[in-house]
């Protein structure tokens, strides 16, 4: 993807000291270092499978401010300041607050206009200092208490708001407020309702299939293999757009309607949507090889369609109850 940064502004929320510094002016996004820093962080998050789809609640204060901005009734600085104030007030109530900076950016991605909100937690790092006294120079090392996350790291809390549709994709984490866990980004900054992310959906899908198979005495490895087979077929048929979880259930527990319904009910309870977006993470995770580890220290990795295909792999139960794995039709062994 190519991100085009149009505007960006930085606000400081040092909640440990109770000091906030809200900027009245935006940063120079034509500056290569500033532009690259913001762009890289947006790109690292935007294409990840960890963002949750969400929708503003009707009474969301930030949504109202965004509407004013789109209608030309307020400025970008005021919109960003409203977001910073909401975040600062929220973080002041958490049990273990940490200082952070907030970058609010207006950008385009895929010809769509977005508002991006990046919560940049400050970290402590070491830096040098130079002291000159009585004609002598003394170099020393000191703590720097407000270092921004490097572009090699992925920011853990952020939101991207489509300015045309007002659809949201966000990443957040929970903090304790009055003893209760609260997702600050979703509940207090955005005021939105959300689904679990494609990454969470993919992991829940695999774990639930394994658990249901084991609890019902069916082959858990076969369940994993069937999921991977179906996902590979499905993303190709749907042009890599989504994976239909009802069809996954039919594939994995074919001929076992009661177990299939149990699996579907558990997915629904866990909040997995009927159609899971086929992100890069899901595509890679769900179409990768089956990996088995044995108690003898032997590890195997093979395509899911090979499982229980006697042309390639045979699992044999011996008379003493142990298992043997036979690998067939090998023409070459490579030492890696």
Q: What is the DSSP string of 148-213?
A: PPPTTSPPSEEEEEETTT-EEEEE--EEEETTEEEEIIIIIII-EEE---HHHHHHHHHHHHHHHH
Tokens describing residue 219: 């082959």
pLDDT tens across 197-253, in order?
A: 888 888 888 889 889 988 998 888 888 788 877 777 766 665 557 778 888 898 889
Q: Residue 185: which pLDDT band, with cuts at 50, 70 and 90?
A: very high
What pLDDT score was predicted for residue 144?
65
Please tell me whether residue 128 adopts helix, strand or coil conformation.
strand
Residue 84: the pLDDT is 94
The partner residues of 7 in beta bridges, in order of sequence, read 106
CA distance linking residue 229 with residue 233, whole number of Å: 6
User: What distance in Å separates the CA atoms of residue 114 and residue 166, rounded to the nearest whole number?
Assistant: 9
Q: What does the alpha-carbon distance between residue 11 and residue 300 come to, in Å, rounded to a whole number?
A: 51
Task: Give per-residue burial for 104-117: e unless 16+ CB within 10 Å, then b.
Answer: bbbbebeeeebbbb
- Answer yes or no: is pLDDT of 15 > 80: no
Centroid of chain to Cα 334: 37
**C-beta neighbour count of 44 within 10 angstroms:** 15
pLDDT band of residue 330 (cuts 50, 70, 90) is confident
Distances (CA, A) of 235 to 224, 231, 279: 17, 6, 10
Q: Which burial class, exposed, middle or buried, applies to 45 when counting CB atoms under 10 A from its CB (0-12, 13-18, 19+)?
A: buried
pLDDT in tens, 106-152: 999 988 999 999 999 877 667 777 778 777 887 777 666 667 777 87
Mean pLDDT score of the chain, rounded to an integer?
85
Q: Among 10-24, 45-59, 257-271, whose mean pLDDT is lowest?
A: 10-24
Give the pLDDT score at 331. Answer: 85
Report yes or no: 100 and 120 within 8 Å, Cβ to Cβ: yes
Measure the CA–CA gap between 18 and 27, rounded to whole angstroms: 24
pLDDT tens track for 31-85: 999 999 999 999 988 877 789 999 999 999 999 999 999 999 999 999 999 999 9
H-only helix segments in the chain: 32-46, 61-70, 76-91, 198-215, 220-237, 245-252, 257-269, 280-286
Per-state percent for the chain, helix, strand, coil, to nearest 5: 35, 30, 35
The pLDDT score that the predictor gives to residue 97 is 80
| DSSP structural state of residue 319 | T
Kindly report, residue by residue over 268-322, the tens digit of the pLDDT.
888 888 888 776 666 666 667 778 788 888 888 887 777 778 888 887 878 887 8
pTM over 0.85: no
What are the C-alpha distances in Å from 30 to residues 6, 39, 115, 151, 311? 9, 12, 18, 18, 60
């Amino acid at each position: 993807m190519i991100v085009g940064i149009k505007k960006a502004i930085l606000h400081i929320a040092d909640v440990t000291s109770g000091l906030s510094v809200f900027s009245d002016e935006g940063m120079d996004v034509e500056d290569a270092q500033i532009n690259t820093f913001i762009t890289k962080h947006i790109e690292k998050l935007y294409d990840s499978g960890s963002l949750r789809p969400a929708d503003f609640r009707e009474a969301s204060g930030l949504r109202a401010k965004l509407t004013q901005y789109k209608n030309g009734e307020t400025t970008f600085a005021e919109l960003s300041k409203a977001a910073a104030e909401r975040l600062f007030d929220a973080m002041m109530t958490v049990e273990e607050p940490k200082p952070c900076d907030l970058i609010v950016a207006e950008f385009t991605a895929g010809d769509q206009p977005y508002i991006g909100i990046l919560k940049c937690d400050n970290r402590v790092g070491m830096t040098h200092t130079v002291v000159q006294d009585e004609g002598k120079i003394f170099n020393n090392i000191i703590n720097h208490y407000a270092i921004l996350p490097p572009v090699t790291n992925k920011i853990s809390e952020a939101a991207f708001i489509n300015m045309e549709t007002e659809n949201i994709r966000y990443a957040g984490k929970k903090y304790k407020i009055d003893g209760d866990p609260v997702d600050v980004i979703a509940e207090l900054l955005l005021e939105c309702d959300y689904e679990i992310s494609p990454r969470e959906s993919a992991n829940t899908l695999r774990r639930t299939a394994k658990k249901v198979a084991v609890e019902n005495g069916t082959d858990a490895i076969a369940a994993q293999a069937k999921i991977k087979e179906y996902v590979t077929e499905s993303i190709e048929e749907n042009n890599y757009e989504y994976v239909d979880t009802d069809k996954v259930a039919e594939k994995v527990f074919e001929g076992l309607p009661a177990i299939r319904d149990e699996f579907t009910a558990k997915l629904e309870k866990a909040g997995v949507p009927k159609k899971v977006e086929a992100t890069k993470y899901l595509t890679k995770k769900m179409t990768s090889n089956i990996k088995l580890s044995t108690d003898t220290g032997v590890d195997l990795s093979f395509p899911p369609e090979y499982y229980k295909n006697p042309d390639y792999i045979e699992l044999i139960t011996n008379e003493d109850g142990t298992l043997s794995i036979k690998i067939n039709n090998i023409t070459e062994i490579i030492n890696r």
